[in-house]
Structure 1
Amino acid sequence: MAGRIRGHWKRWLIAGVATAAVLCTAGPYIYINYVQDKPPAALSLDDPPGSDSSGSSPGSGDDVEGAWRVGSGSQAGYRVDEVLFGQNVTAVGRTEKVTGELEIEGNRAVSGSFTVDLASVKSDSDQRDGQFRGRVMDTERYPEATFELTEPVDFGSAPAVGEQVSAKATGELTVHGETNSVSFELDAQRTADGFRVNGSIPVTFADYGIEAPDFGGIAVEDEGDIEFLLAFDRA
């Protein structure tokens, strides 16, 4: 009798361990693929302009010269790949707290600087946001990320309203107290009351003294992207 009881307990124990293993494997898969929302698409000029823009008209013809400022409808944030309990996911965090200015002469942006409030960046996970603001970015010590042009951006020509042009930008990106020179492609689009600029800056975390998180079943890739979609009004 005792032997049969021990045998039953052993089988139940094995079955329990097997069930737990299946749940640990299948649980994240089911959550990520069937419950969790898909990450938002990359910021794009296909996104409609903000409806509450307060900028004034840029004027007639192709005149875009002068001083501009980052206005309402602007966004910036990060996109990075994670491994969550063995499942590949894409994490996206964004904020609308972006400021900056741009000076245009002819068809070239000759100077410009932009600042992102990192403490206001939010994703779809409060836990991820807490890690981002704390052990990852230390926003109490480094609350902002900045970019400043170091070379003019030549757009070639001023597009008509609704049209787009592409160019290459070079400047200095400061994140987590570290500054590096970066170059990246961007697209610009003329709007009825200004223009919008969209792009993505590849970032290797180690270049900015950031240790990619790897804890509690979550591992983050060593590289990611800073995405931005900036709407400009007359300064």
Structure 2
Amino acid sequence: MARTGSGRWKRRLIVGVAADALVGVGGPYVYINYIQDDPPAALSLDSPPTAPESASGSGDQAGRSVQGSWRVGSGSQAGYRVDEVLFGQNTTAVGRTGQVTGGLKIEGTQAVSGSFTVDLASVRSDSDQRDSQFRGRVMNTERYPDATFELAEPVDFGSVPDVNEQVTGEATGDLTVHGQTSSVTFDLTAQRTADGFRVNGSIPVTFADYGIDAPNFGGIAVEDEGTVEFLLAFAPA
């Protein structure tokens, strides 16, 4: 009888350990694949605004109207996208904010100078816990409240687009995050609108380049690299 009781106890222990393992692995799998919403799609110009008929004009007219200074206006967004491993399950974390400021100067077909600043303390994702870690241990937004990008050389888009047309260029500049600055180069896409234009881009970021430890916490392991995404709507300055 003693052996039978011991055998039952061992079986219960094995079942308990197996159940814990199922919850530890299966729980995140169920959450990520059946409960959690899909991460937002990358910021892009795939759904352009519809321009009023009166705003559509010739390329020459559009060319004259973009010359000069512009400011980052309402409807702009910026944030981060990074891959995570949540208790063994792959997922993607996305945080964004509309608190973006900046400006741009255009001469001919070139953006000759420009910069934008993102209020990091206002960035939000779908997780309060992640946001708290982002503002605190990861980014220390009390000490480093902003991220900034500034052009180091002109961006030549090749032509001035008509309303709703898109053009591309390559930007090189200085990205400052967490109090450290690195030179970055990335692709830009610009699109004319009825009363301005929008600019979209994605900047690869390696956390170690900015003195940021990989933000791992509470069963979540984060990749060493991510991206800064932005979609900027420019209005006349």
Q: Residue 207 of structure 2 corresponds to which residue in structure 1?
A: 205
Count of aligned pairs: 228
Query: In the TM superposition, what is the alpha-carbon distance from 1:175 to its structure 2 partner?
Result: 0.2
Q: Determine if contact 1:197/1:231 at 8 Å carries over to the other structure.
A: yes
Q: Which amino acid aligns with 1:29?
A: Y
Q: Which amino acid aligns with 1:197?
A: V
Q: Residue 221 of structure 2 corresponds to which residue in structure 1?
A: 219
TM-score, L = length of structure 1 = 0.93
Equivalents in 2 of 1:41, 1:112: separation in Å?
26
Q: Of residues 175, 181, 184 in structure 2, which corresponds to 1:182?
A: 184
Q: Residue 22 of structure 1 corresponds to which residue in structure 2?
A: 22
Q: Determine if contact 1:50/1:73 at 8 Å carries over to the other structure.
A: no
Matched, 1:98 2:80: no
Q: Determine if contact 1:214/1:220 at 8 Å carries over to the other structure.
A: yes
Q: Which amino acid aligns with 1:103?
A: K
Q: Which amino acid aligns with 1:110?
A: V
Matched, 1:62 2:59: no
Q: Of residues 109, 112, 115 in structure 2, which corresponds to 1:110?
A: 112
Gaps of 5+ in 1: 52-58
TM-score, L = length of structure 2 = 0.92
For residues 68 and 15 of structure 1, do their structure 2 counterparts lie closer, same or farther at Cα, with a shift above 3 Å needed? Answer: same
Equivalents in 2 of 1:150, 1:195: separation in Å?
21
Equivalents in 1 of 2:11, 2:100: separation in Å?
60
For residues 61 and 186 of structure 1, do their structure 2 counterparts lie closer, same or farther at Cα, with a shift above 3 Å needed? Answer: closer
Q: Determine if contact 2:62/2:161 at 8 Å carries over to the other structure.
A: no
Q: Residue 55 of structure 1 corresponds to which residue in structure 2?
A: none
Q: Determine if contact 2:204/2:226 at 8 Å carries over to the other structure.
A: yes
After superposition, the C-alpha distances for 1:72-97 in whole angstroms (9 at most, x for unaligned) are: 11000000011110011110000000
Equivalents in 2 of 1:47, 1:218: separation in Å?
33
Q: Residue 54 of structure 1 corresponds to which residue in structure 2?
A: none
Query: In the TM superposition, what is the alpha-carbon distance from 1:13 to its structure 2 partner?
Result: 1.6
Query: In the TM superposition, what is the alpha-carbon distance from 1:17 to its structure 2 partner?
Result: 1.1
RMSD over aligned CA atoms reads 1.6
Query: In the TM superposition, what is the alpha-carbon distance from 1:157 to its structure 2 partner?
Result: 1.1
For residues 62 and 15 of structure 1, do their structure 2 counterparts lie closer, same or farther at Cα, with a shift above 3 Å needed? Answer: same
Query: In the TM superposition, what is the alpha-carbon distance from 1:60 to its structure 2 partner?
Result: 3.9
Query: What is the DSSP-based 3-state SS (H/G/I as helix, E as strand, rest coil) of the residue aligned with 1:24?
Result: helix
Compare the two structures and name the one with the higher helix fraction.
2
Gaps of 5+ in 2: 52-59
Query: In the TM superposition, what is the alpha-carbon distance from 1:116 to its structure 2 partner?
Result: 0.1
Query: In the TM superposition, what is the alpha-carbon distance from 1:131 to its structure 2 partner?
Result: 0.5
Equivalents in 2 of 1:149, 1:18: separation in Å?
55
Equivalents in 1 of 2:99, 2:218: separation in Å?
31
Equivalents in 2 of 1:106, 1:65: separation in Å?
6
Q: Determine if contact 1:50/1:72 at 8 Å carries over to the other structure.
A: no
Q: Residue 165 of structure 2 corresponds to which residue in structure 1?
A: 163
